[in-house]
Amino acid sequence: MVHTNIYKTRREKLIKALGRGVVILKGAPEQIRTNDTEYPYRQDSDFFYLTGYSDPGAACIINPNDSDHPFTLFVLPQDPKKEVWTGWRLSFDETVKVYGADQALDIASFETESLAAMKSAAKVYSNLNHDRDHQHKMLDLVGQVRKEVQRSGGGPEGLESIGSIVHGMRLVKDEREIELMQKAADISAEAHIKAMKACQPGMTEFQIQAVLESHFVYAGGSGPAYTSIVGAGDNATVLHYVKNRDTIADGDLLLVDAAAEFEMYASDITRTFPANGNFSDAQKAIYGVVLKAQKAVVEASKPGVSFQELHDLDLRLLVEGMLEIGLLTGTADEVIKNETYTDYFMHKTGHWLGLDVHDMGKYMVDGDSIILEPGMVFTVEPGIYVNSKSKAPEKYRGIGIRIEDDILITATGNKNMTAAVPKEIMEIEALMARV
């Protein structure tokens, strides 16, 4: 069922920010994977946020200047010969009812209708993220209209990304979004627990990937929210390791960064655990540093705190910990000033989470970090990565550790949406204990 009221409320909020602008959006194009087959279809996040429409071949116009049809959806027309290949399509009347549109038209008329809508608009907002053909088309159309109205006046002054309005809206999640994100988080948490229980030295990284991803789908998710990372031993030190083809050795740590998408919403979890169920002393030393920083940042996440403050806290705790265990030398201030920590910690502490795993939304405004508000959701994911070629003490080489949870800011503090997956050393060892 499509919750039309939710999307209508979002469009109304958007319209208030538009002035005499018009919004002209294209759904995501299908992407060829290999001859005659496409990647699984995934709707453009901004398009979905405003329409709830998730099938291919669509576009929409949100036009406050058109009082009869402020919201027009363009869809593929019914065509029995094509539908036997790709599935049934709604009629235009059904589309109007299901999606709460004021009218539904054949996608073939999108360009003509866009031109007409642009004529009475002061500005055109469109999705300008990934679809270059659409971007060029919008530029062409704006140029065409401006030429047509040169003598009579009017017409759009420019083309702007819909993101300038919608990405700010997407930063603060509504109740329905939080519900869906919690479901995605729960499925992912269950999958991580299954993976920890299943893991044995001698298995392959892809077998653990299979445990995780089969649960994502079994539990109702659409699949992974991003390409799963399952890295054993030295592979755990490669930030975007996605090959997942190696065998897991006794004594390896396994870093698993994998999570489900549920009804378009992402979760994002990382856990790192010993393949044989027991951390070595060197592994415990680094794990303890990452865990202390991660817990402190989660604890500090509340309304009024800036995103940058969380990163600063994370960095200081990681650096102090790395000094304590002999991974770095000098003082914390020197290490931070000279950025020598970047040998082992080279990414930010977290990112917004929502329809996109790295969700849209600014981190800085006018040079200042965003201040956290209730409804914001982001990850907290410190890590330390000591690869086998590093100059670190021998005992630490080949150890990569990241711990990542999804944090919702609430009125009084935060809710850790992924707290169900163990992260304390004793909890992990107990879960993995073979009886």
Residue ranges binding ligand GLY (CB under 6 A) = 226, 257, 268, 351, 357, 381, 404
Scanning 71-79, 101-109, 121-129, 251-259 for contacts with Mn ion by CB under 5 A, the matching segment is: 251-259
Residue 146: CB atoms within 10 A of its CB come to 16
- What does 226 interact with, of Mn ion, ligand GLY, none (CB < 5 to 8 A by kind)? ligand GLY
Among residues 94, 106, 358, 373, the one annotated as catalytic is 358
Scanning 61-69, 118-126, 265-273, 340-348 for contacts with Mn ion by CB under 5 A, the matching segment is: 265-273
- Would you call 10 a catalytic residue per the annotation? no
Q: Which residue lies nearer to ligand GLY by CB, 11 or 351?
A: 351
Q: How far is the CB of 230 from ligand GLY (least distance, A)?
A: 12
Q: Which residue lies nearer to ligand GLY by CB, 113 or 314?
A: 314
Q: Which residue lies nearer to ligand GLY by CB, 41 or 226?
A: 226
Q: How far is the CB of 232 from ligand GLY (least distance, A)?
A: 17
Q: Which residue lies nearer to Mn ion by CB, 44 or 257?
A: 257
- Would you call 268 a catalytic residue per the annotation? yes
Among residues 268, 314, 356, 359, the one annotated as catalytic is 268
Scanning 69-77, 96-104, 369-377, 378-386 for contacts with Mn ion by CB under 5 A, the matching segment is: 378-386
For residues 150 and 148, what is the distance between their CA atoms, to the nearest angstrom? 6
- Would you call 167 a catalytic residue per the annotation? no
- Would you call 246 a catalytic residue per the annotation? no
- Would you call 347 a catalytic residue per the annotation? yes
For residues 427 and 419, what is the distance between their CA atoms, to the nearest angstrom? 12
Among all residues, which ones are annotated catalytic? 36, 240, 257, 268, 347, 351, 358, 381, 385, 402, 404
Residues forming the site for Mn ion (CB under 5 A): 257, 268, 270, 379, 404
